Structure 1
Amino acid sequence: MKATIFHVSALVLLIAGATGVSSAQDRSHDSSHLRQPMPERWTFSQEVTQTLPADDPWWKSFEDSTLDSLISMGIDNNFDVAQALHRREIARLAIRQTQSGYFPTLDVSAGYSRSRNGREKDANTFSAGATLNWELDVFGRITSQVKAKRAAYNASRADYVATMVSITSDIASYYINYLVLRNEIAVAREHIESQKRVVKIAEARHEAGLVSKLDVAQAKTVLFSTEATLPALQSRASQTLNALATLLGVYASDIAPMIKDDAKLPAYLRILPVGIPANLLRRRPDIAEAEAQLAQNAAEIGMAKKDFLPVLSLRGSVGWEGDKFNSDHFAYSIAPTLSWTIFDGGSRKYALAQAKEQMMASIDAYNLTVMTAYTEVENAMTSYYAAVETYNLYDEVFKQSRESFDLAIDQYKEGLAAFTNVVNAQIDWLNCANSLVESRGDALIALIDLYKALGGSPDEAI
């Protein structure tokens, strides 16, 4: 049984972090916008090594094929993921739309008219022409717009990864919660069978005149109390399965057959190699999104500054009009144009001031995001370590409670102990069994929360 107790010195694995975020963007993260420097190490450092995570999907560490299938289903069907993917595509198309400003616009026209003036013959007039407008990006106005759209696209990519990390961790948490409830139902049924045997022992001793009927009544009270917990547990399990199905974008009936009735909680409990705090700048998609927002704001400041510069454009036209196609009716024009707004009542000045204020607000938001990320990892590490220690302690408590029950029932059979000892031992054993299941579930969910805090990522990282 000692093999089931996990020590903090054991460590394994990974987070497929939003390392994909940084590598895909091909840029290094700096801390130039941090008002407070990142701590060099975590406050909580209970035998946690400082290495970068592996590139595998984090949930595979649980070695649970059902969980793998559920998360794969969620990635394909979850509506939040689908919306994030659409937002990413919208941002990508916005770049293409803005880049079209580098090219000229060409309009063509054609017409025909028939007219008569007094007694003259009918006159037929044909016309055709083309007009070209082209803004020459000499002063970088269009380029600054493209930069802003690219930054917005990078933010949407990070948002997509953040959504994936959140959804996959939620799926894993609901799955673990469902297994906890199923295991508690199994524990209750196991103890009901044990308590039925105790009732028979009490009835036999009562019929033999060795004890009063009080022992039988107490035994049945414990039995019926345990049976009364089943409906609520089954209802909670059903509700949890429904919530899990909603995350997956399906109905509960679609996934119920995938989860075996006797499914056990994953055996995986480890401390993660979380790395140094500064690595969060490369891992967390919300930090990547905040950085992209800063880049977008910087580009918008550039856009506001470009509005103070002139716009150079080229306008050209070619056309023909008449009843015959010949050079006498052909005309063309080329007209370079330089337009420059001299006075606008301060509109551009205030637009620039707004852009700068927005940049300052985004810097504050970036700092808050970084500090929140650091705090979340600190709290997640502390919670997980405490949850593992709690599970280890409950494992010992459970073994002692089982031994206490065995001793109590043996002594009762021999007439060496009162039945109240058996009742108390039964209740303690059941409570400890439930606490053991719940504490294991708590430890697994705390581990999931730690993966989430570190910025875990699915296969299709951005």
Structure 2
Amino acid sequence: MKYASLSVLVLLTACTVGPRHQVPQATVQQRFIGGDAATVGAVAQQRWWEEYRDRELSALIGTGLQQNLDSLAAMERIREAQARLRATGVNAAMDGALETGRSRSGGDATTTGTATSSGLSASFVIDLFGGIRRGRDSALAGLAGAQADLDTTALAWVAELIAAYADARYNQEALALTRETIRTREQTLEITRQKYDAGAATEYEVAEAEASLASARAALPQYNAAFSTNVFAIGTLLNTQSGPILARMQRGAPQLRIPAPRGSGVPADLLRNRPDIRSAEAALAAAVAEAGVSEAELYPALTLSGSVARVSSTDSWSFGPVLSLPVFNQGALAANRDAAVSAARQAAIDWQAAVLTAVEDVQVAQAQLTQYRQRAVALRRAAEAYDRALQLAQQNYRDGAITLLDLLDTDRSAASARISAASAANDAAKAWATLRIAIGAGAGALRPVPEPAAPAADTPAARNG
């Protein structure tokens, strides 16, 4: 009978109730529209931002990884998840306390006495139906989700930094182009004044040339303000003072180049590479585990408890199992279980939505990059053509072959074309980064500190690397 009871206890301890988490499967298209069927594999360690070949940008990213507030907050969430994990398993099953005290009692001076007491009590919950194990599974999934959220945060942060940096360089380029326009209009004004002195131009034409020059000069504060705004945003993203960054950025540098095209892989790659999908899977695993915890609470609980105590000179002890039967609160416990099951189903839907959103992100980013590249090339050619036309128009005006209004019209078109070409190049450079981020590239290379201890092998983070 003793061995039979032990066997029954072992079987009960190995029992785990409630739903079990399985790796979700998504039905996605075989390739992106306009893409091929070539997989990109694991891209988490790609330092793709270095393909811009901009040392200042690479330096800013390297500095900001260790100090930006978004990543620091994400790291604290990982530490919180690690602490919650330590509270599970054996730590959740065991309880105990050491107590000591001293008291006085009596009714009058002759019967007053002092008593000392001390005691040690401990209890251990036998996990009959796996509630404690499922609680640990939930904590492991929470840790995996926090680690994936760190990668998501890092990608979002680098996206903001690249956008602010690219816009800052664009505004510097716009300033340079505007100064070039100012020089051209100063030459036009000088020619007009010479013609006016010679009686070949009117005072009205001089005023027109002066107004055109003034309007060009008026654009400088706008681009300067936008440049400063971008630099201040970079300072905030890096959690540092903007002054030193502003001093370095004011030295000037070319706009971000548009790196060469790279493969975007296939939709199935996103299940491994996108950290937000890994986070959604971890949330699903945690929700399924919590449903198991709620299920276990419907069944009896067995606790081994014991205590040793001494009151004055009297010793006492107790030891034995305690069986708890949830009889009168079955309705509430069943409702909690049903709510947890529904939460798990919602988490599964959220995971599916995350996959669909990821596919859309890549598809949109890929289409935009293709179109922005074409637009940048076309506008650059237009700007070059307008520059040639402006040179010819200025010479023709000097020779009297065209009017000032014709020259100013060509001048305005050339200035607008140069700014538009610079803006299009900036859009294409940022779109390239958006596509790399959309496929989840670089998430591992952007982690600000070494990863915490790896979770167990059956967790979403361990399966997805």
TM-score category, normalised to shorter length: 0.7 to 0.9
Is the 2:169–2:254 Cα contact (8 Å) retained in structure 1? yes
AA partner of residue 93 (structure 1): A
Match of 2:324 among 339, 342, 357: 339
AA partner of residue 57 (structure 1): R
AA partner of residue 401 (structure 1): Y
Match of 2:432 among 447, 457, 461: 447
1:414 maps to what in 2?
A: 399
1:342 Cα shift? 2.3
Counterparts of residues 119-134 of structure 1 (less than 5 Å): 125-134=115-124
2:81 maps to what in 1?
A: 91
Q: Distance in 1 between matches of 2:102 and 2:249?
A: 74
Is the 1:48–1:271 Cα contact (8 Å) retained in structure 2? no
1:399 Cα shift? 1.0
- Contiguous gaps of at least 5 residues in structure 1: 1-28, 324-328
Is the 1:164–1:458 Cα contact (8 Å) retained in structure 2? no
1:77 maps to what in 2?
A: 67
Counterparts of residues 3-152 of structure 1 (less than 5 Å): 31-32=24-25, 34=26, 37-45=27-35, 50-52=39-41, 54=43, 55-102=45-92, 104-113=94-103, 125-152=115-142
Change (3 A) 1:458 1:208: farther
Counterparts of residues 288-437 of structure 1 (less than 5 Å): 288-323=278-313, 329-437=314-422
Q: Which sits farther off after the overlay, 54-63 or 99-108?
A: 99-108
AA partner of residue 41 (structure 2): L
For the residue of structure 2 that corresponds to 1:275, the secondary structure is coil
Change (3 A) 1:241 1:123: closer
Deviations 1:102-159, CA, capped at 9 Å, x for gaps: 5533322234456678897976644332111111223322111111111112111111
Q: Which sits farther off after the overlay, 376-385 or 233-242?
A: 233-242
2:243 maps to what in 1?
A: 253
Change (3 A) 1:364 1:123: closer
Is the 1:280–1:373 Cα contact (8 Å) retained in structure 2? yes
Change (3 A) 1:438 1:124: closer
Change (3 A) 1:381 1:219: same
Match of 2:155 among 156, 162, 165: 165
Deviations 1:227-251, CA, capped at 9 Å, x for gaps: 1111222222222222222222223
1:191 Cα shift? 1.4
AA partner of residue 220 (structure 1): E
- How many residues align? The count is 425
1:72 Cα shift? 2.7
AA partner of residue 459 (structure 1): A
1:317 Cα shift? 1.3
For the residue of structure 1 that corresponds to 2:46, the secondary structure is coil
1:345 Cα shift? 4.9
1:459 maps to what in 2?
A: 445
1:287 Cα shift? 0.7
Is the 1:52–1:273 Cα contact (8 Å) retained in structure 2? no
Q: Distance in 2 between matches of 1:314 and 1:134?
A: 5
Deviations 1:231-279, CA, capped at 9 Å, x for gaps: 2222222222222222222232242122143211122432221111110
Q: Distance in 2 between matches of 1:262 and 1:111?
A: 74
Q: Distance in 2 between matches of 1:114 and 1:210?
A: 118
1:431 Cα shift? 0.8
Change (3 A) 1:412 1:315: same
Q: Distance in 2 between matches of 1:95 and 1:104?
A: 15
Q: Distance in 2 between matches of 1:403 and 1:49?
A: 44
Q: Distance in 1 between matches of 2:218 and 2:147?
A: 50
AA partner of residue 383 (structure 1): Q
Q: Distance in 2 between matches of 1:174 and 1:289?
A: 27
Q: Distance in 2 between matches of 1:396 and 1:118?
A: 108
Change (3 A) 1:298 1:450: same
1:180 Cα shift? 0.8
Is the 1:40–1:278 Cα contact (8 Å) retained in structure 2? yes
AA partner of residue 405 (structure 1): L
**Percent identity among equivalent residues?**
23
Deviations 1:52-79, CA, capped at 9 Å, x for gaps: 3642322222121211222233323322
Is the 2:39–2:269 Cα contact (8 Å) retained in structure 1? no
Q: Which sits farther off after the overlay, 282-291 or 235-244?
A: 235-244
Change (3 A) 1:62 1:118: closer
Q: TM-score, normalised by structure 2?
A: 0.85
Change (3 A) 1:229 1:258: same
Q: Distance in 2 between matches of 1:441 and 1:280?
A: 27
Change (3 A) 1:371 1:115: closer
Q: Distance in 2 between matches of 1:418 and 1:76?
A: 60
For the residue of structure 1 that corresponds to 2:123, the secondary structure is strand
Is the 1:101–1:142 Cα contact (8 Å) retained in structure 2? no
For the residue of structure 2 that corresponds to 1:317, the secondary structure is strand
Q: TM-score, normalised by structure 1?
A: 0.86
- Contiguous gaps of at least 5 residues in structure 2: 1-21, 452-465
1:265 maps to what in 2?
A: 255
Change (3 A) 1:404 1:120: closer
2:171 maps to what in 1?
A: 181
